[in-house]
Amino acid sequence: MSETVKYLLEENRLPKDWYNIVADLPRRPDPVLHPGTLRPIGPQDLEPLFPMALIAQEVATERMIEIPEPVREVYRQWRPSPLYRARRLEAALDTPARIYYKYEGVSPAGSHKPNTAVAQAFYNKEAGVRRLTTETGAGQWGSALAFAGAVFGLEVRVYMVRVSFEQKPYRKALMEAWGAECVASPSSETNAGRQILAEHPNSPGSLGIAISEAVEVAAQRADTKYSLGSVLNHVLMHQTVIGQEAMAQLEMAEDYPDIIVGCTGGGSNFAGIAFPFIGAGLRGAPKPRVIACEPSACPSLTRGRYAYDFGDTGHLTPLVKMHTLGSTFVPPGFHAGGLRYHGMAPLVSLLQELGLIESRAYTQLSCFESGIQFARTEGILPAPEANHAVTGAVEEALLCKEDGIARTILLNLCGHGHFDMQAYIDYQAGKLEDRAYDEAELAAAFATLPQVAVA
C-alpha cells in the first residue's frame, strides 16, 4: 500500500478573486447575438434573465474579479477543497507519472457546481430577485442551485430532463430536501414545453428543451431570473477557484502539471481547473498540455462545428460562437447526463480554436472501467462525468509508462457518484453498451445551424 498524500490549503488561502481568462487571450471572444435580430446584444437585452452584476461579469475584461465576502463565507464550508496525490492509482497502473486529483465532491451538493450556484444566488438576492429558474440534466446543477437557494433564501424551480427525472428520483428528492421545486421537462407549464409535447407526447426531454422552459418562465416574471450551470463566461469564471487552489496546492507539493485533464459537457469544471494554468502559461509560466475529455456519444469538441448556434432547442436564448452539434441534436442514451449538451462553452471552444487545448472522446464503457479502478484504488467513487477525466488521466499515465517519463498529471475529479449508483449497477451487470450517435441525425442537426453574417 502506498501513502495517502493530501494537500490542504489553510482557509486563508481561499482565493480572493475569480480569474477571467479573457484578459490574457490573444483575441476577444466573438460577440453574443440576439436570437431575433442576429445582431450583437447589449447588456439590457440580458436583463430579463440575469442581474446586472452577472451581466457585467459576462462581458468583463479585467483579469481578476473580487469574490464578495458572503460568497467566500459559504465557500468556506468545503473550500479550499483537497488536492490528492493518487499514489494507489499510480501503483496499480505501475506508472512513473505523478497523478494529482482535485476533489470537488466535498461540496454539500457533491460536485463543483455550487462554486457558481452560490455566486449566482448571491448576486440575484442582492438584486432583489425572489425566484430562480433553471434546467438540469443529471441533476448535479439543479441540486447545487437548490442548495444555494436554501442558503440565500431564494425560491428555486428546476426543469429536469424527463428521462433523468424518471431515472433519478433521488436527485429530485435532494433538491426538494433543500426546498426547491423540480419539474419534469418538457412540461405543460410553458409554451416551449407544450409545443414539444404536442409533437412528441413521449419526449424524453433534453437540456436544450429544459433551458427553453426555464428561460421562458424567467423572462415572463419580474421577480424571477434564470440561472445557468455552465457554458457562459461568468459561470466558467466562478469555477476558477478550483484551478487557483490547485496551483497553490501543487506549489506545496513542489510540483507543476505537465498535463491537465478535465471532462467537458458545457465546459465549466474543465475551465475551472484549466484556465488559471492556461492563463499563467500565456503570461510566461510553463504551458501544460490541457486535454478536454468528452463522451464519444456527444462529441461537441471533437466532432462539432465551430459556429454560431442557439443554446436551447426552442431558440429563445442568444446565439454564441461555439463548438456545436446543432441545437436539435439528441445524443443516444448514456449515463453521464451532465455531458449531454449539444454545445460547448464559447471560451473553451475559442481556446481549442487558438490551439491552447486538445480534446478527446471516450466511450462510456471505458469510462466506467476507469471509474471502478479509481474507486478500488483511491477509495472515491466518481460521478460518471468525472470518469471521463479519470480515463484521460489513466491514458496519459500509461503513455508515461511506455515512454518511461515521469510526467505530472492533474485531473479534476468534479463530483462523486452517490446519485449515479444505477449506472454502476447496470455497468457491473454488463447491461451498459456503447451506443454511437446517428451520423444522419448529426448531419440533420448541422443543417439547422443558423446562417449568421457576423464574422
On the question of a cis peptide bond just before residue 318, with omega within 30 degrees of 0, the verdict is: no
Interface with its own copies includes 108 (CB under 8 A)?
Answer: yes
Residue 13 interacts with its own copies (CB under 8 A): yes or no = no
Task: Give residues 123-182 in contact with its own copies (rule: CB under 8 A).
Answer: 147, 150-153, 169-170, 173-174, 176-179
Return the C-alpha cell found at 220.
Answer: 415572463
Our CB check for its own copies shows the closer of 76 and 283 to be 76
- Residue 259 CB, nearest approach to its own copies (Å): 23
When the beta carbons of 92 and 398 are compared against its own copies, the nearer one is: 92
What mask of x and - would describe binding to its own copies in positions 375 to 404, judged by CB under 8 A?
A: xxx-xxx-----------------------
Query: For residues 171 and 331, what is the distance between their CA atoms, to the nearest angstrom?
Result: 21
Query: Strand, helix or coil at 324?
Result: strand
- Assess 418 for contact with its own copies (CB under 8 A): yes
CB-nearer residue toward its own copies: 96 or 179: 179
- d(CA 398, CA 401) in angstroms, rounded, equals 5
Alpha-carbon torsion angle 256, 261, 267, 268, nearest 10: -50
Closer residue to its own copies, CB minimum distance, 79 or 407: 79
101 binds its own copies (CB under 8 A): no
260 CB-side CA count, 13 A: 29
Task: Based on the shown chain and the rule CB under 8 A, indicate whether residue 228 belongs to the binding site for its own copies.
Answer: no
Task: Tell me how far the alpha carbon of residue 247 is from its chain's centroid.
Answer: 20
How far is Cα 146 from Cα 210, in angstroms, rounded to an integer? 16
Give the binding range for its own copies (CB under 8 A) out of 24-32, 281-289, 372-380, 445-453. 372-380
Determine how many CB atoms are found less than 10 A away from the CB of residue 170: 15
Interface with its own copies (CB under 8 A), residue total: 45
Rounded Cα distance between 275 and 237, Å, is 9
- For the chain, how big is the Rg over CA atoms in Å? 20
Positions that interact with its own copies (CB under 8 A): 1, 3-6, 8, 10-11, 70, 73-74, 76-77, 84, 88, 106, 108, 110, 147, 150-153, 169-170, 173-174, 176-179, 372, 375-377, 379-381, 418-419, 421-422, 424-425, 428
